[in-house]
Chains A and B, each alone.
Chain A
Amino acid sequence: MDNAISVSHLNYHYADSDRLALNDINFDVAAGEWVAIIGHNGSGKSTLAKNLNGLLAPDSGTVEVAGMTLSEDTVWDIRSKIGIVFQNPDNQFVGATVADDIAFGLENRGVPRPEMVERVKDALARVKMTDFADREPARLSGGQKQRVAIAGIIAQQPEIIILDESTSMLDPAGRQEVLATINQLRDELGLTVLSITHDIEEAAGAHRIILLNDGQIKEVGTPEEIFAHGSELLELGLDVPYAAKLKEALSERGVKLPDGYLNEERLVDYLWTLHSTM
């Protein structure tokens, strides 16, 4: 399968610092894949996202997006393929109403009006914000704003969507719902998703996880492989998945459980086999 994103030997430092914010970053993301990037605050996650669509220009190394190498000549083509939803939606609202705001990006791209109206309607329905089409974005709650910001990106039908802590203000049910919506789009349209997150349960739903630490890739692996590190994750400023914590509490009480990471479902199943043999 083609790579949606291909990054090689990417280095980046901010002008006011000697330290490399990104240090020799190499990874590929296949088209249609869902990859989570995790790491503590300041590990370079958002800096990486901004290097992927040319908001920041790398010191050295190359970024390829949808088969194009990022440069001054390709940056606008690449931006038309990538939609980024930033953490704080207030930073990306421009419209007077929710519907206007979502239409803004489409107008900029010269989408004909009838199609625009349809796309706005569809995007709002997908994030369950249809009832808010005529409201002022500034007066919505934090979680509602995040839904609108996501709708704005969905309407543009990008090939790649980057979620930069985009669900941090949603309640747990809302977060599940929004992630399921994006996953459905991934299925339907072959969308590639890069989700930057602290939320270990959100990362657990990804195909692969890239673990960043102090500007370097510490490890790339499936959620099972990454979570097998258990309490080592705490030292990297991350959380330990709940199932791993419970497993530890049980082994402290003398209960023997299999080695390696069990997700919650498998842990429940395993505990049930112990229960049944009583």
Chain B
Amino acid sequence: MDITFDHVDFTYQAGTPFAGDGIKDVSVTIHDGSYTAIIGHTGSGKSTLLQHLNALLKPTAGSVTIGDFTITKETSNKNLKPLRQKVGMVFQFAENQLFEQTVARDIAFGPKNFGVSDADAQDLAKRMVKLVGLPEDVLDKSPFDLSGGQMRRVAIAGVLAMQPEVLVLDEPTAGLDPAGRHEMMAMFERLHREQGLTIVLVTHQMDDVADYADHVLVMEQGHLIKTGSPREIFADPAWLQEKQLGLPTTTQMAQDLVNKGFSFNPMPLTEQELADQLVPQLGGASHE
């Protein structure tokens, strides 16, 4: 299911003294099966863009086509339910949306709302808990007795239980410790690969962009200013620094080495790539 933005504008609180631009004239296609990262400075419109992916926000001008749905400012909120099922949203601090008495009931809540029988929803809950890497015995626990990282996994399981085609992630690892972050990113990668989920990731972690994404959208002050593969985006460190976006750690390190006199082609994105390119440039006496 492709998602296409066609000259989309969105203004917050249009017509009030609080009016502010969200996004301006955005045209782009997020392809079915892709792993797309959206990067940009704080307040650049990333989260606004995201909320158009399942019509939580509707464009104030232009249109968003999501599979068979076309959303414009005239689109009525009726009949959007199938769309919301197809595009699953995991918000920042997703654990804040847990509310049920048990993990099983929390995960089953969404599917049941969409007409899935109680038995089938319970079965889904069991499968989803496994899919997000939690032990089955959490099902009967209160979600509020779990750790922050586990609570977030439960919230994600609840979104996955809707069996979406597109999974939208807004800084899904914020506040997790490094081990939790790595595990969670590996989990999304597995879902992408094994379930064929299209993933849209908003993140400040350039290392995650380099490691996981195949397509990158760069936002600045509401405008989409660049798109390309991670290699294309990170090939120009000076441009990224000018946009205050930072680089993957490896690329930053490579850039520091370039400033000293080393050269790399292409700019490495992982420490393994960097090490491979460094070895031939180091003196013969220092290694076998």
Q: Are A198 and B174 in contact (CB under 8 A)?
A: no
A250 touches B279 (CB 8 A): yes
Q: Out of A41, A87, A254, which one reaches B177, CB within 8 Å?
A: A41
- Contact segment of B3-11, B41-49, B66-74: B41-49
The answer on a CB contact under 8 Å between B278 and A169 is: no
Q: Is the CB of A142 within 8 A of B18?
A: no
Which residues does chain B contribute within 8 Å of A170, judged by CB atoms? 42, 204
Contacting residues, chain B, for A42 (C-beta < 8 A): 147-148
Contact of A142 with B174 at beta-carbon distance under 8 Å, contacts A88-B93, A172-B246 already known = yes
Surface stretch bound by A, among B51-59, B81-89, B269-277: B269-277
Is A216 an interface residue when CB atoms closer than 8 A count as contact? Answer: no
Decide if A234 touches B249 in the complex (CB within 8 Å): no
Number of residue pairs across A and B with beta carbons under 8 Å? 148
For residue B119, CB closer than 8 A to chain A, the reply is no
Given contacts A250-B275, A255-B279, 10 further A-B contacts (CB under 8 A): A41-B180, A42-B148, A141-B43, A141-B46, A143-B42, A172-B245, A255-B278, A255-B287, A271-B260, A277-B285
Stretch at the interface among A104-112, A149-157, A235-243: A235-243
> Which chain B residue lies CB-closest to A45?
B177
B18 and A168 within 8 A (CB): no
A-B contact pairs, 30 of them (CB 8 A): A41-B148, A41-B180, A88-B175, A139-B13, A143-B204, A168-B174, A168-B175, A171-B42, A171-B244, A171-B245, A172-B206, A173-B41, A173-B245, A174-B42, A198-B181, A246-B253, A246-B271, A249-B275, A253-B287, A254-B279, A255-B282, A255-B286, A256-B287, A268-B256, A271-B257, A271-B262, A272-B261, A275-B262, A275-B282, A275-B283
What is the chain A residue whose CB lies nearest that of B47? A141
CB of A62 within 8 A of chain B? no
Chain B contacts of A88 at CB under 8 A? 93, 175
A residues near B287, Cβ cutoff 8 Å: 253-256
- Closest CB of chain A to B28's CB: distance in Å? 20
Question: Which residues of the partner chain A approach B256 to less than 8 Å between Cβ atoms?
Answer: 264-265, 268
Given the known A-B contacts A246-B274, A255-B286, are A139 and B42 also in contact in the complex, defined by CB atoms under 8 Å?
no
B12 close to A (CB within 8 Å) = yes
**What chain A residues lie within 8 Å of B47 (beta carbons)?**
141-142
Which 6 A-B pairs give the minimum distances between C-beta atoms?
A143-B42, A172-B246, A239-B178, A249-B275, A173-B244, A277-B283
Chain A residues within 8 Å of B276, by CB: 253
B135 contacts the other chain (CB 8 A): no
For chain B, the count of residues having a C-beta within 8 Å of the partner chain is 52
Closest chain-A Cβ to B239's Cβ sits at a distance in Å of 14
Asked if A40 is at the interface (CB within 8 A of a chain B CB), the reply is yes
Is the pair A165, B175 in contact by a Cβ cutoff of 8 Å? yes
Closest A residue to B256 using CB positions: A268
Interchain CA distance A271-B47 in the complex, whole Å: 41
Of A87, A142, A200, which is within 8 A of B42 by CB? A142
A218 within 8 A of B: no
CA distance A256 to B93 in the complex (A): 44
The reply to whether B253 and A278 contact each other, CB–CB distance below 8 Å, is: no
User: Which A225-271 residues have C-beta < 8 A from chain B?
Assistant: 234, 237-239, 242-243, 245-246, 249-250, 252-256, 264-265, 268, 271
* Known contacts A198-B176, A275-B283, A171 near B246 by CB under 8 Å: yes
For B148, the chain A residues whose CB sits under 8 A away are 41-42
Residue from A139, A169, A249 in contact with B92 in the complex, judged by beta carbons closer than 8 Å: A169
Q: Are B246 and A250 in contact (CB under 8 A)?
A: no
| Closest beta carbon of chain A to B246's beta carbon, Å | 4
Which residue of A is nearest B92, CB measured? A142
> How close is B184's CB to chain A, nearest CB, in angstroms?
12
Complex contact A278–B92 (CB within 8 A): no
**Interface assignment of B281: CB less than 8 Å from any CB of chain A:** yes
Smallest Cβ distance from B182 to chain A, in angstroms?
8
CB distance from B25 to the nearest CB of A (A): 20
B266 interface residue per 8 A CB criterion: no
What's the nearest-Cβ distance from chain B to residue A211, in Å?
13
Nearest-neighbor residue (CB-CB) of B276 within chain A: A253
B260 contacts A171, C-beta separation under 8 Å: no
Closest to B286 in A: A274
Within 8 A of A (CB), among B182-208: 204, 206
Residues of B near A125 (CB, < 8 A) are none
A5 → chain B closest CB, angstroms:
23
A278 and B245 contact, CB distance less than 8 A: no
**Residues of chain B contacted by A274 (CB below 8 angstroms):** 282-283, 286
A13: min CB distance to chain B, Å: 16
**CB atoms of A172 and B283 under 8 A apart:** no
